């Protein structure tokens, strides 16, 4: 399931969606989440979207910030 399934009413350009999906995929791999149906996957997606809505667009930074938040 791509991150789009979690976006809801938020609006992103195709380029931004690509960055969000890259961050999502990387974060799941880093956290060793095996399936996107895992509740942790939804938590990661929502955190990435939240950070992106604050203005961050770099996929590596989105991944890093979301993982740091979840681990804390």
Highest mean pLDDT among 3-17, 36-50, 53-67: 53-67
User: What is the pLDDT averaged over residues 34-60?
Assistant: 93
What ranges in the chain are assigned the alpha helix state H? 14-30, 39-53, 59-71
Residues with Cβ within 8 Å of residue 35, at least 6 apart in sequence: 41
pTM: 0.90
Residue-wise pLDDT for 7-38, tens only, equals: 888 889 999 999 999 999 999 999 999 887 88
């Amino acid at each position: 399931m791509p991150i789009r399934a979690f976006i809801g009413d938020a609006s992103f350009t195709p380029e931004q969606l690509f960055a969000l999906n890259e961050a999502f995929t990387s974060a799941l791999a880093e956290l060793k989440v095996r399936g996107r149906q895992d509740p942790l996957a939804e938590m990661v997606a929502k955190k990435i979207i939240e950070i992106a809505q604050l203005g961050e667009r770099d996929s590596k930074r989105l991944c890093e910030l979301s993982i740091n938040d979840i681990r804390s």
